[in-house]
Amino acid sequence: MKQLSLDNLRTFVTVVNEAGYAKAGDVLGKSQPAISLQIKRLEQQLSIRLFNKKGQRQIVNHEGLKLYKTALKMLALNDELFSQFQPTLLKGRIRLGIPSEFATTLLPSIIGEFSKLYPEVSLEVTSALSKNLLSKDNENTFDLTMALVNPNSNPDTEVAGQLLLDDDLVWVGDKSNSYGENTISLVVAPDGCVYRTRIINTLKQQTQAWRISYTNADLSGITAAIKQGLGISALAKSSVPKELDIIQHTSLPPLGRIKICLFTGNTQHPQACAKLAEFIQSKLYQA
């Protein structure tokens, strides 16, 4: 029976995370030829190419991204097993910045499991708009920041962060309520929200009439307003709560895609921070 090397998989994940063989070698303490050999062996076992060469860079391809998602789950399960039978080594305080919608839908599934495996690591969580989390004022505030990136308006930020997921941006509402086909009523976060910007810019290109009926920075407030029939909104597909429905209608234009990225700050606890990042990646792909 064929078996994949977890060491090769961890090297592959690190190459994707660090966007290059050389940087992955620095993180893992391996030479670039050793990294290349591990990737080559992985490709031979799977009979696929994982990267395409672009200039001097190796860019992960479609097949590589498929493997990346599964590899994260396999490595997380491997690490969880070791954590159950070995003394806890990770300690410290991690300051996490996360958008409110993911704090509501993603974070609860992370906190309990992570804290159980690493009880000596304390989490200090701040939820806010991505724009605020990534502002200059918060440059040294967080060890780890999860944020939405709008590639149309902020290409520099897109490059700076590690891409977690390239997600669909979808219309959300309550199917039991009518959102108003003559004038679209919107329930959105305050100015500066990536979702709000994309919604308004898209609707301005249409002939459909629209208005903002309610504004709230918190997902629970937006959800409550939608359930009360005040309007519809938009969210990354992976962050849509169970209480809301994905809405599709001819009067609602496609909103495109949105990038969810992870930014690492100057942390005093890099190992604990890296482990939390793996948890976030794994849970996000399961959402």
Whole-number pLDDT of residue 79: 82
- Give the three-state DSSP class for 89: coil
- Domain count of the chain? 2
One-letter amino acid at 245 equals D
Residues 80 and 103 in one domain: no
Residue 184 near residue 231, CB atoms below 8 Å: yes
In a domain, 164, yes or no: yes
CA pair distance 149, 262, nearest whole angstrom: 10
pLDDT at residue 110, rounded to an integer:
83
CATH for 53: 1.10.10.10
* Cβ within 8 Å of residue 263, ≥6 positions away: 134, 142, 144, 145, 146, 147, 160, 161, 162
* Claim to verify: residue 172 and residue 262 sit in the same structural domain: yes
Provide the 3-class DSSP secondary structure of residue 269: coil
**Nearest partner of 230 among 240, 244, 241, judged by Cα:** 244
Tell me the HSE value of 184 on the side-chain side, using a 13 A CA sphere.
25
Domain containing residue 277: 90-287
Q: How many CA atoms lie within 13 A of 195 on its CB side?
A: 31
Asked which of 33, 59, 84 is the last residue of a domain, the reply is 84
What pLDDT score does 286 carry? 62
Q: Read off the amino acid at residue 286.
A: Q
Q: Does residue 62 sit in the same domain as residue 98?
A: no
Asked if residue 257 and residue 166 are part of one domain, the reply reads yes
Taking only the tens of pLDDT, the chain with its 287 residues reads 678 888 899 999 998 888 888 888 888 888 888 888 999 999 998 999 998 887 777 788 999 889 998 999 898 888 878 777 765 578 889 999 999 888 888 888 788 888 888 888 999 999 988 989 988 888 788 999 999 987 655 444 444 678 888 899 999 999 887 665 678 999 999 998 999 999 999 999 988 899 999 999 889 999 999 999 999 999 999 899 999 999 988 889 999 999 999 998 888 888 888 889 888 888 776 65
Q: Are residues 183 and 280 in the same domain?
A: yes
Spatial separation of the C-alpha atoms in residues 121 and 102, rounded to whole Å: 21
Report the alpha-carbon distance of residue 52 to residue 87 in Å, rounded: 41
Q: Are 201 and 134 in contact (CB under 8 A)?
A: no
Q: Is residue 1 part of a domain?
A: no
Q: Do 19 and 154 belong together in one domain?
A: no
What angle (nearest 5°) sits at the alpha carbon of residue 152, between those of residues 165 and 59?
A: 45
| Whether residue 147 sits in one domain with residue 172 | yes
Give the residue from 67, 84, 101 where a domain finishes.
84
In a domain, residue 260? The reply is yes
Cα–Cα dist 31/47, whole Å: 24
Q: How many Å from the N-terminal Cα to the C-terminal Cα in the chain?
A: 31
pLDDT value at residue 186: 95
Question: What does the block give as tokens for 13?
Answer: 């994940």
Strands 162-173, 257-264: parallel, antiparallel or unpaired by DSSP? Answer: antiparallel
What pLDDT does 159 receive?
A: 47
Measured over the CA atoms of residue 8, residue 13, residue 14 and residue 18, the dihedral's sign is positive
d(CA 169, CA 234): 7
Which two three-digit tokens encode residue 207? Answer: 């002939």
